[in-house]
Structure 1
Amino acid sequence: MRLKEWQLAFESFLLEEDTGANLTLSRSLIGGPTLDVETGLAIYHNAYKARLLEVLRNDFPTILHWMGDEEFEALAMAYIRQCPSTHYSLRWLGRSFEGFVREYLVPEQSAPLAEMIALEWAFTLAFDAPFGEPLTIEAMVALAPEEWPELRVRPVPSLQWLECRCNSLSMWRAVKEESEFPDSMALEIPQICLIWRNQLICSYRSLDPAQATALDGLLNQGWSFAELCAELAVTYGEGAPLQAVTWLKQWIQEGLLERLQR
């Protein structure tokens, strides 16, 4: 058996449910005095699945806490069977977990679980994102007056934007803080949650509707600072520029924005 053929056979064995290796693979191996081929292969088979399960447990601790060990393991193993790891790095194992849950469970069960999965995965994406060049207050002070109207920004690479329709953030925080775990419930008004990395620490916070609309305009609709002020004038009148500057200063201090050069 050629090396590539052997590797493919071993991969196929690891992904199968049956721990019994095929004859071609078994005959290519030699057992030891204390460990026969079948037992050794079974150990590899179980260890591989256990490692994948461990990764999902670490990536989705709130889901694990919420469901409990047995239910989480059953869901995770069903996911692993349907969406086996295809990347050389296990960092990407959970990227399809949200979509799988939405299809695997009925909507009443899947919606809150999938939202929590998206929230926890956003922390993973934020932590692993490349470093950017966040705007600083010093850079803003150095802007010439004529630069302000056409000033445009973009999100730093780590910024994740989620719309939560359930109290997912409260549930996640309860596990993080080891406090009383609340029941899942729908929110009257969807909550915009931001997650980003500042240096090597992930930060998060929610936005009220007005601030979310303003930041969405800057990041997703391409508003300039002048256009932001014009939009805010509908609500804040002459105080619109002050409100725009106040929010912009806050977003910059939090490290959310980069300057968009045109």
Structure 2
Amino acid sequence: MRLIDWQLAFEAHLTAPTPLVDSHFAATLLGGPTLDVHTGLAIYHNAYLSRLQDVLRHDFSALRYWLGDDEFAALTQAYVRRYPSDHYSLRWLGERFPAFILEHLVAEQSAPLAELARLEWAFTLAFDAPAGGPLTLDDMAQLRPQDWPDLQVTLAPTVQQILCRFNSVAIWRAARDASGLAESQALSRAHICLVWRHDQVCRYRSLEPSEACALAGMVGAGWNFSELCTELAVTYAEGAPLQAVTWLKQWVQDGMLERRAPQ
């Protein structure tokens, strides 16, 4: 057997649903005085699955806290069998976990679970994202008055946006603090939760609808500062510029924005 064929056979054994050994593959191996081939391969098979589940337990600790160890173990075992690790780094193992939850469980159970998984995955993405070049308050202070009307911004690379229809943030916080098991509840009004990294620390914040709309207008629709003030004037009248500056200062202070190059 060529080395590449042996390696592929070993990979097939590790990712198989059961630790049963292919007889042709087993015949290429030698057992030891205290460990036969089939037992040794079963240990490798189980250890491989266990290692992948360890990664998912770390990346989705709130989900594990909510489900309990046994249900989480069953769910992650089904996941790694459905989507075996195909990247050299285990960092990406959980990328498809939220989508898998939606396809694997009934809708009533899967929707809040998948949302919590997306929230937890957002922290992983925010932690690993490149820092970029976020605007600072000093940068803003150096802007000339004539630069403000045309000022455009975009999100820093670390910022993740999650649309929450359930109390996922409260569940995540309860799991982090080990403060008791929060019950899943649908929110009366969905909200945007931002997750980002600033000063090497991951942070999160839920936005009120008006702030979420203003941020979406600037980073999504490409509003400049003048257009932001115009849009806010519908609600805030003469107070629109002050509200625009207040939000902009908060976003910059949080390290969430970069300046968009003029088109």
| Equivalent residue number for residue 14 of structure 2 | 14
Other-structure match for 2:204: 204
RMSD of aligned alpha carbons: 1.0
SS of corresponding position for 2:46: helix
| Cα offsets for 1:136-190 (capped at 9, x unmatched) | 1111111111111111111110100111011000110011112122211011111
- The residue aligned with 1:190 is 190
Q: Which residue identity is paired with 2:73?
A: E
Q: Which residue of 1 aligns with 2:229?
A: 229
Task: Calculate percent identity across the aligned residue pairs.
Answer: 57
Instruction: Note if contact 2:135-2:252 (Cα within 8 Å) is conserved in structure 1.
Output: yes
Distance in 2, matches of 1:13 and 1:33, equals 23
Q: 1:18 deviation in Å?
A: 2.6
1:52 matched residue in structure 2: 52
- Residue by residue over 1:16-62, the C-alpha shift from the partner in whole angstroms, topping out at 9 and shown as x without a partner, is 12312212221222222222211111111010000011111111111
Which residue is 1:40 aligned to? 40
Residues in 2 aligned to 1:32 and 1:104: alpha-carbon distance in whole angstroms: 41
Give the distance between the partners of 1:33 and 1:204, measured in 2 at CA.
Answer: 56
Alignment partner, residue 247 of structure 1: 247
CA positional deviation for 1:208: 0.7
The residue identity in structure 1 corresponding to 2:10 is: F
- Partner letter of residue 183 of structure 2? D
Question: Match of 2:132, as an amino acid?
Answer: G
Q: Which moved more, 1:57-66 or 1:173-182?
A: 173-182
Trace 1:118-129 onto structure 2 (pairs within 5 A).
118-129=118-129
Measured in 2, the distance between the counterparts of 1:130 and 1:2 equals: 41
1:112 and 2:112 are equivalent in the alignment: yes
| CA distance in structure 1 between the partners assigned to 2:77 and 2:162 by the alignment | 27
Equivalent residues, number: 262
The offset of 1:118, in angstroms, is 0.5
* 1:55-78: CA deviation from partner (whole Å, max 9, x where unpaired): 111111111111111111111111
In the superposition, the TM-score normalised over structure 2's length comes to 0.97
- Runs (4 or more) in structure 1 with deviation over 3 Å come to none
Unpaired runs of 5+ residues, structure 2, are none
- Which amino acid letter does the alignment assign opposite residue 228 of structure 1? L
For 1:17 and 1:204, how far apart are their aligned partners in 2?
Answer: 38
Q: Is the partner of 2:11 in helix, strand or coil?
A: helix
Q: Structure 1 unaligned runs (5+)?
A: none
For the residues of structure 2 that align with 1:69 and 1:211, how far apart are their CA atoms? 38
